[in-house]
Amino acid sequence: MTAFEANFDGLVGPTHNYAGLSFGNVASTGNQAAVSNPKLAALQGLKKMKALHDMGLVQGVFAPQERPDTHTLRQLGFTGSDAQVLERANKSSPKLLAACCSASSMWTANAATVSPSANTADSKVHFTPANLSSKFHRAIEHETTGRILQAMFPDSQHFAHHKALPGVSHFGDEGAANHTRFCSEPGKQGVEFFVYGRKAFSAGVEPQKYPARQTLEASQAIARNHQLDNGHVVYAQQNPAVIDQGVFHNDVIAVGSRDVLFCHEQAYLDQQQVYADLKAASGWRNFQIVEVPSNRVSVSEAVKSYLFNSQLITLPDGSLTIIVPAECQDNENVWSYLQELVTGDSPINAVKAFDLRQSMNNGGGPACLRLRVEMNDKELKAANQSCILDDGLYTTLCNWVERHYRDQLHTDDLIDPQLLEESRRALDELTGILGLGAVYPFQRV
Terminal Cα distance for the chain, rounded: 43
Q: How far is the CB of 363 from ligand SUG (least distance, A)?
A: 4
Residue 267 C-beta: closest distance to ligand SUG, Å: 14
Question: If binding is defined by CB under 6 A, does position 394 make contact with ligand SUG?
Answer: no
In the list 138, 147, 158, 424, the residue contacting ligand SUG (rule: CB under 6 A) is: 138
379 is known as an active-site residue: no
Nearest to 261 by CA among 205, 322, 302: 322
Catalytic site residue from 142, 249, 264, 404: 249
Q: Which range binds ligand SUG by CB under 6 A, 19-27, 79-87, 119-127, 155-163?
A: 19-27
3-state secondary structure of 391: helix
Decide: 48 and 321 in contact? Cβ < 8 Å. Answer: no
Q: Are 190 and 180 in contact (CB under 8 A)?
A: no
Per-residue DSSP letters for 108-158?
GGGTEEEE-TTTBTTSSEEEEE---TTSHHHHTSHHHHHHHHHHHS--TTT
Known catalytic residue: 101?
no
| Per CB under 6 A, 440 contacts ligand SUG | no
CA distance 223 to 221: 5
The residue within the footprint of ligand SUG, chosen from 22, 117, 238, 376 (CB under 6 A), is 22
- Peptide bond preceding 207 in cis form (omega within 30 of 0): no
116 versus 172: smaller Cβ distance to ligand SUG: 172
Q: Are 241 and 266 in contact (CB under 8 A)?
A: yes
Among residues 228 and 252, whose Cβ is nearest to ligand SUG?
A: 252
Out of 101, 263, 328, 368, the active site residue is: 368
Residue list 219-278, contact with ligand SUG (CB under 6 A): 249, 251-252
Q: Tell me how far, at minimum, the Cβ of 391 lies from ligand SUG, in Å.
A: 28
> Which residue type, as a one-letter code, is found at position 295?
N
User: Is residue 314 a contact point for ligand SUG (CB under 6 A)?
Assistant: no
Residue closer to ligand SUG, measured from CB, 155 or 355: 355
Min dist CB 361 to ligand SUG, Å, is 9
Distance CA 411, CA 35 (A): 8
User: Can residue 19 be called a binding residue for ligand SUG (CB under 6 A)?
Assistant: yes
The reply to whether 360 sits near ligand SUG by the rule CB under 6 A is no
Does 305 contact ligand SUG by CB under 6 A?
Answer: no
State the minimum distance, in angstroms, from the CB of residue 17 to ligand SUG: 6
Check binding of 180 to ligand SUG (CB under 6 A): no
182, 372 in Cβ contact below 8 A?
no
How many CB atoms sit inside 10 A of residue 203's CB?
6
**Residue 311 is a binding residue for ligand SUG (CB under 6 A):** no
Q: Does 173 bind ligand SUG (CB under 6 A)?
A: no
Q: Which of 7, 25, 59, 214 binds ligand SUG (CB under 6 A)?
A: 25
177 touching ligand SUG, by CB under 6 A: yes
Burial class (CB in 10 A: 0-12, 13-18, 19+), 279: middle
Contact segment (CB under 6 A) with ligand SUG among 100-108, 182-190, 272-280, 334-342 equals 100-108
Told to check if 214 binds ligand SUG by CB under 6 A, we report: no
Strands 159-161, 179-182: parallel, antiparallel or unpaired by DSSP? unpaired
* Strand-pair partners of 289: 261
Give me the catalytic one of 141, 174, 327, 379.
174
Q: Of all helices (H) and strands (E), which one includes residue 192?
A: strand 191-196
Residues 41-70 that bind ligand SUG (CB under 6 A): none
Shortest distance (Å) from residue 345 CB to ligand SUG: 29
- Give the count of residues interacting with ligand SUG (CB under 6 A): 22
List Cβ neighbours of 423 (8 Å cut-off, separation of 6 or more): 13, 14, 15, 66, 67, 68
Name which of 125, 2, 113, 5 is nearest 374 in CA terms. Answer: 5
Asked if residue 147 lies in contact with residue 105, where contact means CB atoms within 8 angstroms, the answer is no
Is 100 in the active site?
Answer: no
Torsion of CA 249, 251, 256, 257, to 10 degrees: 110
Compose the 104-133 pattern: x for residues touching ligand SUG by CB under 6 A, - for all others: x--x-xx-----------------------
Q: Which residues are catalytic?
A: 174, 249, 368
Binding site residues, ligand SUG, CB under 6 A: 18-22, 25, 28, 102, 104, 107, 109-110, 135, 138, 177, 249, 251-252, 362-364, 368
